[in-house]
Structure 1
């Protein structure tokens, strides 16, 4: 701190001296008295001087106030300048984002329905932020204004349109006559070429399991379009051969023995009903299977039971009313199954085997003519029986109950068909021939095919003829079982013709 002498205020006596703040003074009572005396000697300030002093003091005070006010105004002005210069308006940014989802339209069309799924659209808008700061030299003020606006619009529209299509399936009735039931009117003088044409299987008599081969074929059927169906017994299947084809198509069974819905076990009978469905005598499974046209999955129409005994079925036939006739050799009978019924009715035989006119002995093939007359190949009675509609007593129309190879005898008759003339055609299994009987039963039969007297594999021979059918032209198809083939013998009519009656 400075040790110099403070300046004396104007108007104070000269002897009033300031005390040095840094000097220590010894004070005596005399000194105190002198000071008091000195104070008492301070002259009174004249009134005008006081007035002058007050005026000066007032002026100074006004000056100070003016100065302060000026400074304040200057500060405000400066603050305004600062405010103007430092006011920042920030517009953060306005961002508008529009997102439109990809519109995917998927249209799926099938035979039954159309489905359309549509659109999802999303729009999103985000923004605004504003900040303001104001500052002065006297007061610092911070003002923040924040505005945030978020707008989200989401629109989702889902439209599903389903169109149903009504599918109508109409089954076309096949006109059987004469295919598989009876032939066209065959002239009475007609004969058949004695040399057969191999239509399925190997011509040299070898068996096989490929689609061009057969193994112990049994029953056959020829439809209106000359398609050939074969119950290929040991291959557990039914094959279809279209005209002029040497390779078959599996239409029932899958080639493996079994009792599944797509399997067969020793099929021995095949026929086509009026809707084109395949009916099979699934012999070793003791059931009748139906394969809807185009399907290889079977439907069981009838099967063995206590109330509906079915034994080894050897053949089946379908009449013009779609009734199924099944030959059951184990039970020595023929059963009839009407449409939509799984319970058969015995229409011939039944009970123990025997030679009576109401008995059968291990029957095999059967045939129904358009009038409902039933014909049965009564195998071990060596005869063919005829049953009028509703009758359980038959009439012998071929053979005489004893085995032989003459014109009157049969050895194991195993299949039978009848033409429009009422002529009867019999597969004489053990004799390896086809016999024809006219309505004059007593006259005996005539050999028409396989008449060499011996069995064999030659085109003119048969070895175990198991079934026979006419096609629509009168040609005869024969299952040559032991030769594992199907033979066709062409009809021959004299150039000059002959009576059809």
Structure 2
């Protein structure tokens, strides 16, 4: 298994995308082995999301489209076309799909319920920059119930919050807030029920939390290189289950921690 990205559904089913074999493996809760494997003829990117109904959406990298698998199918169909790959996907409960375009330095969205195939810009100007209305190689994204958008602005070493309808972001984590908030190439973000923000701080090989109680390192805090099981190596993405456990995609060890 060479996991590239993973996702955990609301019923604690683990989905793992294996870029080497172009497969998606599905582990239901408490299962030691995958109960289903889906095969693709395309390469995967890290853009990967599973809806509440079990539909799987995954970006096909430079193939300029996003594929969809329905829960009762084993084959894929092209759901959406986009002129650049999505490094991250997020589907809101209103069935709006958000795409983080890493090399396009912006976040775009489209309604899955509409026949209109036009993507709308949500954040970023389409070129790299560090001002409040710009992004640099964005990666992970998260949209909360109020449609506020959180972006792992990887190239700027910060997390940006774009309130609904606003083109200018607010830095909620990053060196500009003080040295203790400094990040190094954050790649993935999650929000829990208490609005605590969890960040995969990839360059620092750790997972940190930002919330009402401040900034705290949770995993990988010793800053040593992959010498213990409680440390992370080249983390890229992470996901919660319903019990609050964190599953980390570990590229260096080719596994899920």
TM-score by length of 1: 0.48
Please identify which structure carries the higher strand content. Answer: 2
Structure 1 CA distance for aligned equivalents of residues 181 and 53 of structure 2 = 40
Partner of 2:181: 408
C-alpha displacement of 1:407? 2.8
Q: Distance in 1 between matches of 2:22 and 2:36?
A: 10
Structure 2 counterpart of 1:357: 132
Query: 1:225–1:275: structure 2 CA closer, same or farther, 3 Å change rule?
Result: closer
Distance 1:397 1:475 in 2: 23
For 1:303 and 1:263, how far apart are their aligned partners in 2?
A: 17
- Cα drift, residue 457 of structure 1: 5.4
Displacement after TM superposition at 1:371 (Å): 1.5
Cα deviation for residue 237 of structure 1 reads 2.1
The 3 A distance-change label for structure 1 pair 269 and 236 is same
Partner of 1:243: 29
CA deviations over 1:47-83 (Å, ceiling 9, x no partner)? xxxxxxxxxxxxxxxxxxxxxxxxxxxxxxxxxxxxx
Question: For the structure 1 residues 238 and 293, does the alpha-carbon distance in structure 2 shift closer, same or farther, using more than 3 Å as the test?
Answer: same
> What residue number does 1:455 align with?
225
CA contact (8 A) 2:44 2:58 kept: no
CA distance in 1, matches of 2:107, 2:227: 33
Alignment match, 1:149: none
Alpha-carbon displacement from aligned partner over 1:132-171 (angstroms, at most 9, x marks no partner):
xxxxxxxxxxxxxxxxxxxxxxxxxxxxxxxxxxxxxxxx
What corresponds to 1:434 in structure 2? 207
Please tell me whether the aligned partners of residues 237 and 250 of structure 1 are also in contact (alpha carbons under 8 angstroms).
Answer: no
Residue 449 of structure 1 and its aligned partner are, at CA, apart by: 0.9
Aligned partner of 2:153 among 351, 355, 378: 378
Matched, 1:224 2:10: yes
Alignment match, 1:119: none
1:296 CA drift (Å): 2.5
Corresponding pairs, count? 255
Q: State the shift of 1:312 in Å.
A: 2.9
Q: Which aligned segments of 4 or more residues in structure 1 are displaced greater than 4 angstroms?
A: none
Cα distance change, pair 243–420 in 1 and its aligned pair in 2 (3 A): closer
1:310-353 CA distances to partner (integer Å, 9 max, x unpaired)?
32321111111121111111111111111144321110113210
Output aligned runs, 1:96-495, within 5 Å.
213=1, 215=2, 217-249=3-35, 251-252=37-38, 254=39, 262-304=40-82, 310-340=83-113, 341-400=116-175, 407-439=180-212, 443=214, 445-456=215-226, 458-487=228-257
State the SS of the aligned residue for 2:155: helix
Instruction: Using the TM superposition, name which of 234-243 and 311-320 deviates more.
Output: 234-243
Q: After the TM superposition, which of the residue ranges 226-235 and 385-394 deviates more from structure 2? A: 226-235
* TM-fit CA distance, 1:221: 1.4
Partner SS for 1:407: helix
Give the Cα–Cα distance (whole angstroms) in 1 for the partners of residues 48 and 133 of structure 2: 26
The CA distance in 1 between the partners of 2:75 and 2:207, in whole Å, is 36
Q: 1:396 to 1:461 in 2, by over 3 A?
A: same
Bigger radius of gyration: 1
Q: Distance in 1 between matches of 2:30 and 2:227?
A: 21
RMSD: 2.0
Separation in 1, partners of 2:175, 2:212: 15
- SS of corresponding position for 1:430: helix
- TM-score normalised by the chain length of structure 2: 0.92
